[in-house]
């Protein structure tokens, strides 16, 4: 049973460019969340998708956008890259709700290391 | 506002010592969920435990144990007889329900170094 997979593993971009990161959730999971983890910091919530719609968003500018496909996989797009966007981008998946409506724990992928120069 | 504080930035212990990682959280909700994750050098966050706000029972899993105290808004994690393989960054996280979704709010993490 494959876990959460992300691609690419590493990416180097120049300021002003655009980037797309990809995530495939764990089998059986329909909810995907994206997090940004700067060096030495905890992950920061970007947004969450289920049923192909953005359901909740963290404090990130509109330069960050996403998409979820019918097979539950997801993309994170970042436009007009800034040096400060350099970070590890983590994708997490979970079933939308656990038994009794409680949230399942999220399972994280290995991340995509984005470097903006 | 929701917030998770992990005041210990880095802890070093010698193998076989016990170590406790502190987590203090802030929330206005009466229903919330707390988690601990481990992040080894490979970078992938590994789930360790989930605790619901209405269940204050402490839990033990092998060498790991968790102490949840609502009165002090703390959810501390203890590793007994630490091993070198326990070396990692440990994150405490808080989750609240908003419009049916559950985003995580992470602390800044505690780096644990277990020396042989």
What's the per-residue H, E or C state across A50-61? ECCEEEEECCCC
Q: A84 to each of A38, A39, A60, how far by Cα in Å?
A: 9, 11, 12
pLDDT given at position B13:
97
Whether B43 has its CB under 8 Å from any CB of chain A: the answer is: yes
pLDDT at B54: 85
The pLDDT score that the predictor gives to residue A60 is: 97
pLDDT score of A45: 94
Report pLDDT for B38.
97
Chain B segment 3-42 residues within 8 A of A by beta carbon are: 4, 6, 33, 35, 37, 42
| Cis preceding linkage at A8, omega within 30 | yes
3 state DSSP class of B89: strand
Q: Do B45 and A92 touch (CB under 8 A)?
A: yes
Asked if residues A49 and A74 have their Cβ atoms less than 8 Å apart, the reply is yes
Contact call for A56 and B108, based on CB within 8 A: no
CA–CA distance from A48 to each of A57, A93, B74, B101, B108 (Å)? 7, 9, 27, 8, 21
Tell me how far apart the alpha carbons of residues B101 and B32 are, in angstroms, rounded to a whole number: 12
Instruction: Give residue B56's pLDDT band: very low, low, confident or very high (50, 70, 90).
Output: confident
Report the distance separating Cα A112 and Cα B79, nearest Å.
30
Q: Which residues of A touch B47 (CB under 8 A)?
A: 105-108
What is the predicted pLDDT for the residue at A1? 65
Chain A interface disruption, residue of B44, B102, B107, B111, most A CBs within 10 A: B102
Mean pLDDT over B79-105 rounds to 87
B43 to chain A: which residues are within 8 Å by CB? 88, 110-111, 113
pLDDT at A99 over 60: no
Least confident of A59-68, A72-81, B61-70: B61-70
Nearest to A58 among B44, B95, B103 (CB): B103
Q: Is the pLDDT of residue A20 over 90?
A: yes
- How far is C-alpha A49 from the geometric centre of its chain's CA atoms? 9
- Report pLDDT for A103: 64
Average pLDDT over residues A16-32: 95
B57 or B5, higher pLDDT:
B5
Question: Which residues of chain A lie closer than 8 angstroms to B109, CB-CB?
Answer: 41-42
pLDDT at A101: 54
Tokens of A95: 């079933």
Average pLDDT over residues B73-88: 96
Q: Which residues pair with A50 in a beta bridge?
A: A53
Exposure class string for A13-28: b at 16+ Cβ within 10 A, else e: beeeeebebbbbbbee
pLDDT at A102 > cutoff 80:
no
What residues of chain A, 9 to 28, have a C-beta less than 8 Å from chain B? none
**Alpha-carbon gap: A78 to the closest alpha carbon of chain B (Å):** 20
Query: Would you say residue A104 has pLDDT above 90?
Result: no
């Amino acid at each position: 049973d494959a876990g959460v997979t992300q691609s690419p593993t590493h990416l180097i971009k120049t300021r002003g460019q655009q980037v797309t990161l990809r995530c495939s959730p764990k089998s059986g999971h329909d909810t995907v969340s994206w997090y940004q983890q700067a060096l030495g910091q905890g992950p920061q919530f970007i947004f969450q998708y289920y049923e192909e719609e953005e359901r909740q968003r963290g404090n990130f500018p509109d330069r960050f956008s996403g998409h979820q496909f019918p097979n539950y996989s997801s993309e994170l797009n970042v436009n007009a890259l800034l040096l400060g966007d350099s970070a590890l981008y983590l994708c997490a998946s979970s079933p939308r709700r656990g038994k009794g409506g409680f949230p399942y724990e999220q399972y994280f992928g290995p991340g995509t290391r984005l470097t903006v120069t | 506002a929701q917030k998770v504080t992990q005041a210990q930035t880095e802890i070093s212990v010698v193998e076989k010592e016990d170590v406790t990682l502190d987590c203090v959280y802030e929330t206005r909700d009466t229903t919330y969920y707390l988690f601990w994750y481990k992040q080894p050098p490979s970078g992938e966050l590994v789930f360790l435990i989930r605790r619901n706000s209405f269940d204050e029972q402490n839990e033990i899993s092998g060498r790991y144990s968790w102490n949840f105290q609502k009165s002090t808004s703390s959810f501390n994690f203890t590793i007994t007889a630490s091993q070198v393989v326990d070396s990692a960054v440990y994150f405490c996280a808080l989750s609240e329900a908003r419009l049916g979704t559950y985003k995580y709010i992470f602390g800044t993490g505690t780096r644990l170094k277990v020396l042989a």
